[in-house]
Structure 1
Amino acid sequence: MSDKETLLGMGFAPERIEWALRATKRAGLQPAMDHILENADKPVPEVGDEDVEEPVPEGAEAKSIKCSECGKVFRSQATAGFHAERTGHEEFEESTEEIKPLTEEEKKEKLAELREKLAAKRAAQSKENEKDQRANEMIRRKAGQDQGAIKEQMQAKELAKDAERKRQEKLEDQRARAAVKAQIEADKRERAEKAAREKAARDGAPMPVAAAPAAAARPAAGKSSDNPETRLQIRLHVGGAPLVKTFPSDNTLVDVAEFVASQNLAYTVDSVTFASTFPRKTFSRDEMRKTLKDNGLTPSAVLMANST
């Protein structure tokens, strides 16, 4: 196993191992370890920028550098400079005090201390990472909850719209059914009265007086009602559900024809003709230009729409 691999196995940072191997000119495992321990508090320099101790002036016996403010002794000027940056101390002096190499016991203690610091740093980083992960998870869940709430609100609105549409369709269907039922009853009465009249004519008996049907309560043609609106049920000869719509009473049958043509492609404005079932009547072209009031259709009526 190489010195580098051995130092990596001991837990030292790769960049500090490379620095130690360069500084000791790869003299062996022990010198590299000594360098790492002695420079543990120093930043790792860039390759080629390692600080070199300044030569001692001729005749001097300085063996170290001492901080005049705290009394700490350093092996090199680089180490003293790092101390100055970290503490802000500015007063240094040369010292004849020689820094003894670390004993094996001190090296082991220093190594244990470094490993403890490294483990504490990794534990703190792990806790910080866990904290960040929990915060990110909370943000993700909150975003998911907000999106879920928005989706539920949109679904609720769509359901409400659908329910209202179905309710309106049901009401329109009920109105149309009621109108058709009323028309069927009127047709039945008309057929019964006609049969009675024909029987009386055959027997030579007096003609029976027909009971005034509900539709007869409608004003005669040429007269108008005070109601400003006219509700029409329009039965199509092409089949399908009757058209039901309320028109202003001053609209003409031409306006009604335009509505029918817009709802069913089988009709055009010029080809639509209208007829009432009771009393039976087909409206002429001149009457098509008259208002619903003038044609006696106000306030409500049932029309048959034909295409010529």
Structure 2
Amino acid sequence: MPSDRDTLLSFGFDPARIDWALKATAGRGLQPAMDHILENEGKPIPETVTSTGEDAKGNNDEDEDMKLALSMSQEGQEAKSIKCTECGKVFRNTAMAEFHAEKSGHDQFEESTDEIKPLTEEEKKQKLAELRQKMAEKRAKKNEAEAEERKANEALRRKAGKDAGQIRQELQLKEANKEAEQRKKEKLDDAKARAAVKAQIEADKKARAEKAAKEKALREGQALPVASTSTASSQPAAAPGAKKEYPETRLQLRLSTGGAPLTVTLRSEQTLQDVAEYVASQSLSFDVETVNFATTFPRKVYTRADWSKTLKELGLTPSAVLMVS
């Protein structure tokens, strides 16, 4: 591959100015050297560069001229150039011929008496323009390749960001479902706890009432009252024409979600609200605030106004079947 000096020589620049440019640009490359030559075209060449450059040039040119002269001395002619016998191109020196051989693959050369004329100013400008165009095209291709690479990297980055966003959304959804299930479980536990507390309060009230009744009967010398847990056969017969009282109500609750019905025995003084809390405590499918009750015979749908009424007031004693939805 030819050096920057050989390339600039092929453009027809003055060798001394080429040496000045290469020295001034510290060998940074072809483009800085060429810019230096153009910028300092009308300026005199420093003596230090002239002496060094001319000595080097003189030695190089002298060696090449000697080679040509020796090779052609037998014919009595002076060699002025090197010619490629495969394509007919003529080169100023061996360096340019070697560059041509490396680039084209040609290996047949001969010495020639053809003299290569120096480039005119117009030819110099044309070659410079061609060189600059090639360099501009090379930079454009490089910029295009870098733009494509940036585009590909951006696409990969966006895809990675999208995948991460999707995973994050899925995790958030799972976390939300988990929290919802936990809230529902806590609500169910609260309903069960409230029902248990209510049942205990009612049991305590009943026990206190029975105890008070016994103490009163003992003080007054009366017969002890029959406990509420006794059977119907041990209770005194109701007076003729009096409506029979049922202290307890047995309910069969048929769920709209299917499965075996729930069976529970409650005090007749308990309300439909208590029944709703019991259903919510036994099944996750129902909520105290939204559950509905109805009977099939006689057909009746209970409203929220009925929830504060007792089972006795609603006519559900001593037993009833409720449809739960």
State the TM-score bracket (shorter-chain normalisation). 0.5 to 0.7
Cα RMSD (Å)? 3.5
Q: C-alpha deviations, 1:95-117, integer Å up to 9, x for none?
A: 11111111111112112222222
Aligned to 1:299: none
Aligned to 1:16: 30
Tell me if 1:157 matches 2:174.
Answer: yes
Match of 1:93 among 110, 113, 117: 110
Aligned to 2:13: none
Point out where structure 2 has 5 or more consecutive residues left out of the alignment.
1-16, 45-55, 231-246, 248-325
1:210 match: secondary structure: coil
Match of 2:195 among 178, 183, 187: 178
Tell me if 1:199 matches 2:216.
Answer: yes
In 2, distance between residues paired with 1:122 and 1:73?
31
Q: How high is the TM-score relative to the length of structure 1?
A: 0.53
Q: How does 1:253-272 map to 2 (within 5 A)?
A: none
Q: 1:114 to 1:202 in 2, by over 3 A?
A: same
Residues 52, 78 of structure 1: 8 Å contact kept: no
Q: 1:102 to 1:64 in 2, by over 3 A?
A: same
Q: 1:68 to 1:114 in 2, by over 3 A?
A: same
In 2, distance between residues paired with 1:199 and 1:129?
103
Tell me if 1:57 matches 2:74.
Answer: no
Aligned to 1:71: 88
Tell me if 1:80 matches 2:97.
Answer: yes
Match of 2:128 among 73, 89, 111: 111
Q: How does 1:101-250 map to 2 (within 5 A)?
A: 101-212=118-229
Displacement, 1:194?
0.9
Match of 2:119, as an amino acid? L
Displacement, 1:17?
6.1
Q: C-alpha deviations, 1:232-281, integer Å up to 9, x for none?
A: xxxxxxxxxxxxxxxxxxxxxxxxxxxxxxxxxxxxxxxxxxxxxxxxxx
Q: How high is the TM-score relative to the length of structure 2?
A: 0.50
In 2, distance between residues paired with 1:165 and 1:16?
75
Residues 65, 77 of structure 1: 8 Å contact kept: yes
Q: C-alpha deviations, 1:74-127, integer Å up to 9, x for none?
A: 111111111111111111111111111111111121122222222222222222
Match of 1:57, as an amino acid? A
Aligned to 2:244: none
Displacement, 1:187?
0.7
Larger radius of gyration: 2
In 2, distance between residues paired with 1:19 and 1:88?
29
Report which stretch shifted further, 199-208 or 119-128. 119-128
In 2, distance between residues paired with 1:115 and 1:93?
32
Q: C-alpha deviations, 1:48-90, integer Å up to 9, x for none?
A: 9xx9453323325111111111111111111111111111111
Aligned to 2:262: none
Match of 1:152, as an amino acid? Q
Q: 1:163 to 1:52 in 2, by over 3 A?
A: farther
Displacement, 1:19?
6.4
In 2, distance between residues paired with 1:78 and 1:211?
126
Match of 1:15, as an amino acid? G
Match of 2:143, as an amino acid? S
Q: C-alpha deviations, 1:196-227, integer Å up to 9, x for none?
A: 1111112222111111199xxxxxxxxxxxxx
2:69 match: secondary structure: coil
Displacement, 1:18?
7.0
